[in-house]
Structure 1
Amino acid sequence: MNNSRRTAIKTTGAFATLVSLGIITQSQAQAAVDRSAFAVKTLDEALKAIGGTPATSDQVSVVSPDIAENGAVVPVGCISKLPNTTDIYLIVEKNPTPMSCAFMLPAGTAADIQTRVKMGQSTNVVAVVRADGKLFSAVKETKVTLGGCGG
């Protein structure tokens, strides 16, 4: 396992311990995340909620299949080669709520995330990365053969 991943796991475990012991509450833990971005209905609103229009970068890549057989569980991810990457956002453009997930990365952590999302139809997956306070992005189209968001 990568040392930076170990550090991230240790940090997450320590944070979970603080919550479980009652030293901090779950609402205090969630206060650090701007949840309004998850309520927007369009790609433009999602980008505005996270800080504006990002610049396209070849240092950011979206990991997503060209064709997803089941839209209910589509594996997606992002790899950022930009130094000082602090946040990664995954946006599924045509979903009812496009903002799918947000990752806040501790300093020194490898900027390589993977998750599974629902996709109702074929659409673009947009990865937005915050590095050195600036936004960068990459886009990849994924075709869905069986819908996951009500399809």
Structure 2
Amino acid sequence: MTANRRTFIKKSVALSAYSIIVTSGLLSLSEAKANLLPDTPSTHSLQQTLKRLFKDQEIIASDKIDIQLPKIAVNGAAVSITVTSTLKDVESIAILVEKNPTPLAAKFELSPDLDPFVSTHLKIAESSAVLVIVETSEGFYSAGEKVIVTMGGC
């Protein structure tokens, strides 16, 4: 009983001190905020988004990118996607959904020490193409899949 009470008191004091420090402005929570791309398109078309993100770089279709995505999604609010690649020196993987209000769904910056593998859930507004762009030290490569959504998610 004594140990539980001591643990409770320690945690209460720590939480109170942390709350006071944060609200007084002595500690900034900026490190915990997500980094948005500086020119993140809000309601642009897929082509405009590609132009802004990749600056008219040539994007080559590749069969070395594997996309695991359901062909038919019952609920567009949570569509799981897994992307793997056998391309060498992968630096980043971007996932775009053609008909979403914001086409850029996710962009992952990868360490060269990691295998090129990402998995996440997407919100998809309506039936559309999902495009994956893989950036390597040699250039940009893409692959895509079509998803039919029966109930929209955005």
How high is the TM-score relative to the length of structure 1?
0.75
Q: 2:42 aligns with which of 39, 42, 46?
A: 39
- Listed as ranges, the gaps of 5+ residues in structure 1 are 1-21
Runs of 4+ displaced beyond 6 Å: none
The one-letter code sitting in structure 2 at the alignment partner of 1:66 is K
Please name the residue that 2:81 is paired with. 76
Asked if the contact 1:118–1:148 (Cα under 8 Å) also holds between the matched residues in 2, the reply is yes
C-alpha RMSD of the superposition: 2.3
- Displacement of 1:120 after TM fit? 1.0
Q: Do the aligned residues in 2 keep the contact of 1:62 with 1:79 (CA within 8 Å)?
A: yes
Change (3 A) 1:116 1:35: farther
Three-state SS of the structure 1 residue aligned to 2:134 is strand
Work out whether residues 46 and 98 of structure 2, in 8 Å CA contact, stay in contact via their aligned partners in 1. yes
Corresponding residue for 1:146? 151
Q: Of the candidates 64, 67, 71, which is equivalent to residue 72 of structure 2?
A: 67
Partner of residue 15, structure 1: none
CA spacing shift, 1:38–1:116, aligned 2, 3 Å? farther
Which has the higher Rg, Structure 1 or Structure 2?
2
CA deviation map 1:83-107 (0-9, x unaligned): 0000000000000110000000011
Local SS of the residue matching 1:37: coil
CA distance in 1, matches of 2:34, 2:125: 31
CA 1:101–1:35 in 2, change beyond 3 Å: closer, same or farther?
farther
Q: Which runs of 5+ in 2 are unaligned?
A: 1-26
**Aligned mate of 1:136, from 122, 141, 144:** 141
Equivalent in the alignment of 1:116: 121
TM-score (norm. length: structure 2) = 0.73
* 2:95 pairs with 1:90: yes
- The AA in structure 1 aligned to 2:97 is V
